[in-house]
Structure 1
Amino acid sequence: MIGTILLHEIVGTAILLLLGGGSVANNILARTKGFGGGWLMVNFGWGLAVFAGVYTAYKTGGHLNPAVTLGIIAHGASEFAPGIAVNVANTAAYLVAQLIGAMIGAFLCWMVYKNHFDAETDPGKILGVFSTGPEIRNPLWNLITETIATFVLVFIVLVFGQTPSGLGPLAVALLVVVIGICLGGPTGYAINPARDLGPRIIHAILPIPNKGGSDWGYAWVPIVGPILGGVIAGVAASLYI
Structure 2
Amino acid sequence: MDYSLTTRLAAEFLGTALLVMLGNGAVANVDLKGTKGYGSDWMLIAVGYGCGVMIPAMMFGGISGNHINPAFTIGLAVSGMFPWSEVLPYIAVQIIGAMVGQLIVVACYKPYYDQTEDNLHVLGTFSTINSVGSKFNGFVNEFFGSFILFLGALGITKAPFFQNNLGTAHLALGFLVWTLVASFGGPTGPGLNPARDLGPRIMHALLPLKHKGDSQWSYSWVPVCAPILASIVAVALYKFLFI
Which range, TM-score by smaller chain? over 0.9
Contact 1:75–1:237 at 8 Å: present in 2 too?
no
Aligned sequence identity (%): 36
Given the alignment of the two structures, is residue 18 of structure 1 paired with residue 21 of structure 2, yes or no? yes
Contact 1:76–1:238 at 8 Å: present in 2 too?
no
Contact 1:11–1:56 at 8 Å: present in 2 too?
no
Contact 1:24–1:129 at 8 Å: present in 2 too?
yes
The equivalent position to 1:49 in structure 2, one of 46, 49, 52, is: 52
Given the alignment of the two structures, is residue 214 of structure 1 paired with residue 202 of structure 2, yes or no? no
For these two proteins, the number of residue pairs brought into alignment is: 233
> Within 2, Cα distance between the matches of 1:162 and 1:54?
14
Residue 5 (structure 2) aligns with: 2
TM superposition score normalised by structure 2: 0.92
**Amino acid aligned to 1:75:** S
The equivalent position to 2:122 in structure 1, one of 126, 150, 162, is: 126
Given the alignment of the two structures, is residue 108 of structure 1 paired with residue 104 of structure 2, yes or no? yes
Query: By how many angstroms is 1:168 displaced?
Result: 2.5
> Which stretch of the first structure deviates more once superposed, 19-28 or 56-65?
56-65
Query: By how many angstroms is 1:54 displaced?
Result: 1.9
Tell me, what secondary structure is at the counterpart of 1:60?
coil
Given the alignment of the two structures, is residue 186 of structure 1 paired with residue 182 of structure 2, yes or no? no
Contact 2:130–2:137 at 8 Å: present in 1 too?
no
> Within 1, Cα distance between the matches of 2:181 and 2:75?
20
> Within 1, Cα distance between the matches of 2:20 and 2:134?
26
TM superposition score normalised by structure 1: 0.93
Uncovered stretches (5+) of structure 2, i.e. residues with no partner: none
> Within 2, Cα distance between the matches of 1:111 and 1:25?
11
The equivalent position to 2:75 in structure 1, one of 71, 86, 111, is: 71
Residue 61 (structure 1) aligns with: 65
CA displacement, residues 2-48 of structure 1 (integer Å, 9 cap, x when unaligned)? 31232111111111111111000000101000111111110111101
> Within 1, Cα distance between the matches of 2:153 and 2:74?
13
Uncovered stretches (5+) of structure 1, i.e. residues with no partner: 78-85
